Amino acid sequence: MPELPEVETTVRGLARFLEGERIARLTLNRADLRRPFPDGLVQALTGAKVTTLGRRAKYGLIHTDRGTTMVFHLGMSGRWRIEPETIEKHDHLVLETGSGHVLALNDARRFGSIDLVDTDMLDAWPPFAAMGPEPLGDELTPAHLRHAFAGRIAPVKQMLLDQGIVAGLGNIYVCEALHRAKIRPDKEAGKVSLPALKRLVPAVREVLTESIAAGGSTIRDYAQPSGELGYFASSWQVYGREGQPCACGAPVLRFVQGGRSTFWCANCQK
């Protein structure tokens, strides 16, 4: 499933082909993904010039000179294919730019989505309105977390997965950030000390930026025929490593928390 770093890498890759380009043709090969494509999508974007691209949590943003933004979500299996040699069965949306680039949104399981939103209304768009700060932005601070966690008895891991507290953090990155910050995943959020929160914020940023950098290695493939954006492997310190040694030598442990696996080291995380 594409996580924030994959979405960020996808946006950076797409920007190379789309920024400053006019959308010459937009083709929809079916009526919907998880939801129907927005009414008038083709008309709204055909001939529009892409100004910039951006990201909010796990949504990609394609801004145009018409004051509208195409918002995409990759769901479980979505990916953009760059300059595909042939259009395949699951290429549900195909963009052609004025200079001849072809970009196909491929989504076999169709849990993804496409929306058209007025650019100046994006902050008020319902999926964004209730979101907490971006983990890579300046608004995520130890003070923000202290305020959000104050008096809360829920485990710190659950709180970090709450999109209203921090936007776009997934299970892998929360496990890794808590390990790096040496915080037990099941510690009551309200009892995490300020020094620990001061370790946690940079830890969150580091695991995300390192993963984005790892994804950057796939950027080399973007210009090749049928290059695909979306997925890359990273090496984790604890995630998926139950029973293997932590860097400290103690075994990585796993337990199920809120329906999801938590990986951690009882020796490192207090």
Residues making contact with Zn ion (CB under 5 A): 246, 248, 250, 265, 267-268
Q: Which of 56, 58, 81, 199 is catalytic?
A: 58
Q: Which of 3, 6, 96, 176 is catalytic?
A: 3
Q: Of 72 and 239, which CB lies nearer to Zn ion in the complex structure?
A: 239
Rounded CA separation 121/69 (Å) = 10
Active-site residue, 185 included: no
Active-site residue, 3 included: yes
Q: Of 40 and 249, which CB lies nearer to Zn ion in the complex structure?
A: 249
Q: Of 105 and 183, which CB lies nearer to Zn ion in the complex structure?
A: 183
Q: Of 105 and 268, which CB lies nearer to Zn ion in the complex structure?
A: 268
Q: Which two tokens stand for residue 24?
A: 């010459």
Residue 123 CB contacts under 8 Å (≥ 6 apart), including other chains? 129
Q: How far is CA 78 from the centre of its chain?
A: 12
Q: How far is the CB of 251 from Zn ion (least distance, A)?
A: 9
Strands 102-107 and 59-64: unpaired
Residue 204 class from Cβ within 10 Å (0-12 exposed, 13-18 middle, 19+ buried)?
A: buried
Q: How far is the CB of 247 from Zn ion (least distance, A)?
A: 6
Q: How far is the CB of 259 from Zn ion (least distance, A)?
A: 25
DSSP string of 189-243?
GGG--HHHHHHHHHHHHHHHHHHHHHHHGGGGGTTSTTEEES------SSTT-TT
Q: How far is the CB of 81 from Zn ion (least distance, A)?
A: 40
By the 8 A CB rule, do 159 and 148 touch? Answer: yes
By the 8 A CB rule, do 226 and 83 touch? Answer: yes
By the 8 A CB rule, do 70 and 119 touch? Answer: no
Q: How far is the CB of 178 from Zn ion (least distance, A)?
A: 12
Q: 201-204 — which CB contacts under 8 Å span 24+ positions?
A: 201/140, 201/141, 201/142, 201/145, 203/176, 203/177, 203/178, 204/135, 204/140, 204/160, 204/166, 204/169, 204/173, 204/177
Q: Which of 30, 109, 191, 260 is catalytic?
A: 260
Q: How far is the CB of 270 from Zn ion (least distance, A)?
A: 11
Q: Of 81 and 179, which CB lies nearer to Zn ion in the complex structure?
A: 179
Q: Of 81 and 180, which CB lies nearer to Zn ion in the complex structure?
A: 180
Q: Which residues are catalytic?
A: 2-3, 58, 260
